[in-house]
Amino acid sequence: MNLATLSGLKRDSLHIGVFALVYAVLAFLVSNSYYQLIMTIVPVWAVMGVSWNLLSGYSGLISFGHAAFFGLGAYLVALCLVVWELNPWLTIVLATLAGGAAGLLVGLPTFRLRGHYFALAMLAYPLALLYVFEWLGYQEVALPMHREAPVLFMQFENGRWHILLGLALLVAALLTSSAVAHSRFGMALLAIKLDEDAAEAAGINTLKWKLAAITVSAAIAGAAGGFYAVVLLVVTPLAVFGMLVSAQALIFAMFGGVGTLWGPVLGAFVLVPLSELLYARYAADFPGIQGVVYGIAIIVVILFAPQGLLLKLQAWRKPGQVRLLGSTAATADFGAGDELLVVPPIPDENPHDNPVLAVTALSKAFGGLQATNDLSFSVRHGELLGIIGPNGAGKTTLFNLLNGFIPPDAGQIRFHGQPLGRQRPNRRCALGMARTFQVPRPFTHLSVLDNVVLGAYVHADSRQQAVRYASAAVQLVGLHDLHDYPAANLTTKELRLMELARALASRPTLILVDEILAGLDAVAMQDMLAVLRKVRALGITVLIIEHSMQAMVQLVDRFIVLDHGAMLAEGIPDVIVRDPAVIEAYLGKKWLQGTEKRAAAGAARTKGEPGHE
Amino acid sequence: MDGLQTLENILQSLVAGVLIGAMYGLMCVGLTIIFGVMRVINFAQGEFMMLGMYFAYFCFAWFGSWAFFDGVWFPFMLALLAGPALFVLGMALHRSLIHSVTGRQASGLEAQGHYAQLVLTLGIALVLQNGGLFLFGSSPVSVSNELSYSAWEWGPMVGDRVSVFVNQAQTIAAILAVVVVSAFGLLMARTRLGKSLRAAADNPDAATYMGINVDRAHRMAFGFGVGITAIGGGLLATNISFQPYIGTEYVIIMYAGVVLGGLGSIRGAFLGGLTIGILQQVSAIILPNQLQNTVIFVCFLLIILLRPQGFFGRRERIA
């Protein structure tokens, strides 16, 4: 069998199978009950590492609160056995469900926060639960022995059955983690990790995927906690809700390799036996030795191998081949032509009569600054509309209002006749409104094609379809030769083209283009204009912000001129460049003389080169 | 429990809350300096508080029996001395560890190094906490003297009822906390050092171009932050008993205060800590003792979810 031909999930499954087989054989070779206990605990912590990694490693949102889910699982199993004599086979399943539910419940409010604030908030959940469980009187819950039915109550005579159960849990967690990583789910989480706003604008429902991630992750942690209670036979608040539980989950993943499938496993398999053996040897003299080992391990890793041991080893073995889990290394499919990008059917009965976009009395103020002031305009189907104005005229604010990054104070936006209300950017993208950013926001670790594939998922039913859309978009902007380059290596012009391709791959009916020409030299600018004309030729409506009047008069059908957030003028280029108000506010008096010269020069050039536009 | 008794309980809790809250406020100021200048969330701050406590404890145990140091003021002086001692440790830790994942060095790391900073300070917290267990033992200790058990009585206010007892040690500690915060506020506002710290906080790049050594400013900020929290810990040590694991619960108390006041604002952090102290003491009237901290954690969650910019300070600014 050729490994290279297997898909990611199948290859991972094979590795997981081999790993499980080796570990199971080892389990049968070991008969010392202390070593058996360690061999049971190690996979449990590996599962916690995988659980943490699935949320924090994949999405970049650091959780210091996984102990909350672990502890709930442990107490659920312990208390169900004490109170109702429910067997752990059933209650570990319940613990999984309860963990998932708790994750969803925690995620709903907490995902309003990002970065530092998210990490801090997550810290509070397990600590609050710890004191609640102490107050409830569950300082120490011992699991009653059921010698009459050892299999039913998972209280086996021989510890190796516990090892196998722990291993089964780990296999399930790893398969889940691999399935997530190699799907649209994993791609979405990676996009969130790299740039959450850009992901949202590319049509990825970031809240939905984050909630899905915390639910799956917390379910795994709940199962691990439930099984931990069965193995240890006693549950205390500090042991299951304590800071060290969350810290261990994080440390194993970071130590082994954050965002990788095997990193958390490697971390747990190195650190747990090490700390357990040291503890057994030195606990009498040095009670906190486990914590010190974990602390030192994580400090050393952060300073010397911040990507984790696994990636360090890989980089050393095969330099240049390291890639993050979740990145797909999509194979381009340049077979199809631009017709793939032709606008999908518009949800409007009279697409050609109704405007694509109608803005009425839109206003937005930041403190005392009126960034958008009672602005009304509409964009016709297939039009290329330019928005110009001096710095601070409110151009980018207008785009942020249109695409839903910020809510307006007043006014309405209708898209294909439908009022947009408070729909989030990803919904607007799904409805057919795409955008690029003034400062390009690429997912720098990913290849050009993968960047574009992320934008293509909005209207794709499958990965293949997403890759086809993305390939067509990459080809249209002319980046097909660079499609497997990492985005970090692109020039400014190429980055902007890539962003345009990412917007196009979502098959929009309207594209908002933010200063795509700024800072380009004359040749690059002409290339860019040619690409924009191609986009428009597909029937896609374009709204473009720009400073350079010279370039814009060659391109647009109509201008809107903004000044201090309000409409200064509107009309076809010929009229706008002669409008006294526009000249006063924006172009300056010299423009008029310049235009005459340019017109003369342009006329001369057109004579010289027939066929020039 | 009749009405006057309830009134007495409330007044008593408010007074205790203000006094303890002043110490919390001081610790919060330490934490917020580090965040304000370096934009680093320091998880080990509770452990630095713990080190401040043990500094006072061991100095007291070693030198307290000497006749010269036999005054009631000695523990408070030790608390103040914990500041410079931990300032030096903080500078050393910054130079050896923190420095490599913050400031300029962090720009190349994922998410500007936030990942690395959170985890590194967590590692430091684990080492200090568990190393403390080894060095200091796990049995609770305290730095109490007769003042800890003495109180001034206010009242009786209504007939022979409603007396409020003001703990003397807490009062002295609270006054010292206010003095330290004010002195630090003056240092930030008036001195060249304070200006360079604020400049480094505002815009590290521009500060560099103006000839400010941003790395040194960060190191000073980390030292000050650690030292000030340690003084808070030392003062608190005259009132409560502690063990090496005490940092974890207090780090949440500190973050609750700091977030309440607005991350990075000194005045906000002090008022935030004060509020948390009052909240903690007053909640004890109606709730069982074990839930005191749960109340704080729930408040912390509510503040951070509903008003992450805080109530007292400007958003993410210092001084």
pLDDT in tens, B27-55: 999 999 998 888 888 889 999 999 999 99
Mean pLDDT calculated for residue range A215-225 = 96
Which has the higher per-residue pLDDT, A168 or A549?
A168
Residue given tokens 């107050």 in the structure block: A135
Q: Does B191 touch chain A (CB under 8 A)?
A: no
Cα-to-chain-centroid distance, residue B214: 24
Q: What pLDDT score was predicted for residue A331?
A: 65
Residues of A in contact with B129 (CB under 8 A): 288, 291
% of chain A exceeding 90 in pLDDT: 22
Residue A276 to residue A341: CA distance in whole angstroms: 58
Cα dist from A382 to A283, A352, A433, whole Å: 75, 9, 13
The listed range with the strongest mean pLDDT (A575-584, B164-173, B269-278) is B269-278
Could you report the per-residue pLDDT of A188-208, keeping only the tens digit for each? 888 888 788 888 888 888 999
Say how many domains are in chain B: 1
Taking the Cβ of residue B305 and every Cβ of chain A, the question of whether any pair is shorter than 8 Å is answered with: yes
**CB A490 within 8 Å of CB A240:** no
Question: Could you tell me the CA-to-CA distances from B43 to A555, B123, B231, B255 in Å, in that order?
Answer: 55, 9, 18, 9
Which residues of chain A from 232 to 271 reach within 8 Å of chain B, CB to CB? 243-244, 247, 250-251, 254, 258
Q: Say whether B41 and A128 touch across the interface (CB within 8 A).
A: no
Distance CA B186, CA B191 (A): 8
pLDDT at A445 over 50: yes
- Are A303 and B304 in contact (CB < 8 Å)? no
Give the highest mean pLDDT range of A427-436, A460-469, B310-319.
Answer: A427-436
CB contact (8 A) between residue A131 and residue B294: yes
Task: Please check whether residue B95 touches A, CB under 8 A.
Answer: no
Nearest CA in chain B to A245: B126
Question: Min CA distance, B103 vs chain A (Å)?
Answer: 15
Examine the pLDDT at A410 and tell me if it is beyond 60. yes
Question: Is A112 within 8 Å of B255 when comparing Cβ atoms?
Answer: no
CA-nearest of A244, A265, A256, A259 to A297 is A256
Angle in degrees, CA A174, A177, A180, rounded to 5: 150
Q: What is the DSSP letter of A489?
A: G
pLDDT-derived band of residue A537, with 50, 70 and 90 as boundaries? confident
Q: Summarize the confidence of residues A151-168 as an average pLDDT.
A: 85
| CB spacing of B252 vs A64 below 8 angstroms | no
Q: Kindly determine whether residue A298 and residue B119, on different chains, have CB atoms separated by under 8 Å.
A: yes
* pLDDT given at position A579: 79
Q: A303 at the B interface (CB within 8 A)? A: yes
In a domain, B301, yes or no: no
Give the residue among A504, A492, A513 at the shortest CA–CA distance from A442. Answer: A492
Contact status, residue A424 vs residue A593, Cβ threshold 8 Å: no
Q: Mean pLDDT lowest for which of A176-180, A209-213, B6-10?
A: B6-10
Whether the CB-CB separation of A71 and A240 falls below 8 Å is answered with yes
Interface of A with B in 133-152 (CB under 8 A): 134-135
pLDDT digits (tens, 9 = 90+) for B63-102: 876 666 667 778 888 889 999 999 999 999 999 888 888 7
Residue B281 lies in a domain: no
pLDDT at position A604: 58
Q: Is the pLDDT of residue A151 over 80?
A: no
- Residue-wise pLDDT for B217-226, tens only, equals 889 999 999 9
What pLDDT score does B49 carry?
A: 95
A504: three-class secondary structure by DSSP: helix
A338-534+548-555, CATH topology level? Rossmann fold (3.40.50)
Under a CB-based contact definition with an 8 Å cutoff, are residues A552 and A573 in contact? yes
Q: DSSP 3-state assignment of A520?
A: coil
Q: Please tell me the predicted confidence (pLDDT) of residue B41.
A: 82
Chain B residue with the nearest C-alpha to that of A135:
B290
- Structural domain contains residue B179: yes
A contact test, residue of B100, B120, B126 with most A CBs within 10 A: B126
How many Cβ atoms are within 10 Å of A112's Cβ, its own excluded? 15
Mean pLDDT throughout A499-512? 89
Smallest Cβ distance to B131: which of A112, A288, A306?
Answer: A288
Q: Does the pLDDT of residue B59 top 80, yes or no?
A: yes
Dihedrals φ, ψ of B167, to 5°?
Answer: -65, 130
Q: CB-based contacts of B146: which residues, under 8 Å, 6+ apart? A: B72
B114, B127, B259 member nearest A292 (Cβ): B127
In a domain? residue B7: yes
Residue with tokens 């924006």: A586
Structure tokens, A260: 């990788």
Q: What is the least distance, in Å, from the CA of B298 to any CA of chain A?
A: 7
Beta strands in chain B (DSSP E): 151-154, 164-167
Contact list in B for residue A112 (CB cut-off 8 A) is: 305
pTM: 0.84
B130–A291 CB contact, under 8 Å: yes
Predicted local distance difference test score (pLDDT) of residue A598:
62
- Give me the mean pLDDT over the A335-361 stretch: 66
Whether A391 has a pLDDT exceeding 80, the answer reads no
Kindly determine whether residue B304 and residue A121, on different chains, have CB atoms separated by under 8 Å: yes
Which of B:36-75 have CB within 8 Å of A? 41, 43
Given a cut of 50, is residue B104 above it in pLDDT?
yes
- Nearest residue of B to residue A134 by CA position? B290
- Least Cα separation, residue A245 to chain B (angstroms): 12
- pLDDT-based confidence at residue A227 (cuts at 50, 70, 90): very high
A298 touches chain B (CB under 8 A): yes
Region A23-34 average pLDDT: 87
- The pair of three-digit structure tokens given for residue A171, joined into one six-digit string: 């296999």
C-alpha to C-alpha distance for A456 and A462, rounded to whole angstroms:
10
- Average model confidence (pLDDT) for chain A? 83
**Would residue B273 count as lying in a domain?**
no
For residue A202, what is the DSSP state? T
**In this structure, what are the phi and psi dihedrals at residue B151, rounded to the nearest 5 degrees?**
-140, 150
Cα A281 to chain centroid distance, Å, stands at 44
Residues A335/A323, Cβ–Cβ less than 8 Å: no
**How close does chain A come to B262, measured CA to CA in Å?**
12
Q: What is the pLDDT of residue B47?
A: 95
**Per-chain mean pLDDT for chain B:** 84
Q: What is the 3-state secondary structure (H, E, C) of A427-450?
A: HHHHHCEEECCCCCCCCCCCEHHH
- Single-letter residue type at B266: I
CA distance A55 to B316: 27
Range of the domain at B54: 3-157+168-256
Q: What is the pLDDT of residue B93?
A: 92
**Average pLDDT of span B254-267:** 83
Residues contacting A284, CB < 8 A, separation 6+: none
Which residues, including other chains, have CB under 8 Å from residue B16's CB and lie 6 or more apart?
B167, B170, B281
* B116 touching A (Cβ < 8 Å): yes
Region B220-239: mean pLDDT is: 93
Of A162-176, A479-493, A538-552, which has the strongest mean pLDDT?
A: A162-176
Using an 8 Å CB-CB cutoff, list chain A residues near B125: 295
- What is residue B210's predicted lDDT score, i.e. its pLDDT? 80
For the cut 90, the answer to whether the pLDDT of residue A440 exceeds it is no
Alpha-carbon distance A173 to A351, whole Å?
49
- pLDDT surpassing 90 at residue A148: no
User: How far apart are the C-alpha atoms of A79 and A136, rounded to whole Å?
Assistant: 12
Q: What letter does residue B141 receive in the DSSP assignment?
A: B
In angstroms, the CA A205 to CA A430 distance is 10
Over residues A128-138, the pLDDT tens digits come to 899 899 889 89
Does the beta carbon of B109 lie under 8 angstroms from any beta carbon of chain A?
yes
From B124's Cα to the closest Cα of chain A, the distance in A is: 6
CA–CA distance, A491 with A499 (Å, rounded to integer) = 12
What is the pLDDT at residue A1? 37
pLDDT score recorded for residue A342? 61
Residues of chain A found within 8 Å of residue B124, distances taken between Cβ atoms: 295, 299
Mean pLDDT (whole number) for A477-499: 85
Spell out the domain ranges in chain A. 3-242, 338-534+548-555, 569-613
Structure confidence at residue A5 as a pLDDT band (50, 70, 90): very low
CA separation, residue B71 to residues A137, A444, B66, B221 (Å):
43, 64, 10, 33
Hey, which of A358-372, A452-466, B12-26, B149-163 has the most confident mean pLDDT? B12-26
Give me the count of residues in chain B: 319
Both tokens assigned to A460 = 């794709």
Disruptive mutation site among B139, B286, B304 for chain A (greatest number of A CBs within 10 Å): B304
Q: What is the pLDDT of residue A613?
A: 37
Answer whether B179 touches A (CB < 8 Å): no
> With an 8 Å Cβ cutoff, is B170 touching chain A?
no
pLDDT(A594) > 70: no
Residue holding tokens 């815009």?
Answer: B203
pLDDT at res. B45: 93
Q: What is the pLDDT of residue A349?
A: 54
Sign of the dihedral defined by the CA atoms of residues A546, A552, A553, A557, in that order: negative
Strand segments (E) across A7-155: 141-142
- Using DSSP's 3-state secondary structure scheme, residue A571 falls into strand
Closest CA to A241 of A97, A64, A96: A64
Q: Residue A386 pairs with which residues in a beta bridge?
A: A544, A559
Residues 206-235 of B with CB under 8 A from A: none
CA distance, residue A41 to nearest chain B CA (Å): 21
User: CA distances (Å), A511 to each of A408, A502, A540, A542, in order?
Assistant: 20, 11, 7, 5
A161: helix, strand or coil: helix
Q: Which residues pair with A542 in a beta bridge?
A: A384, A511
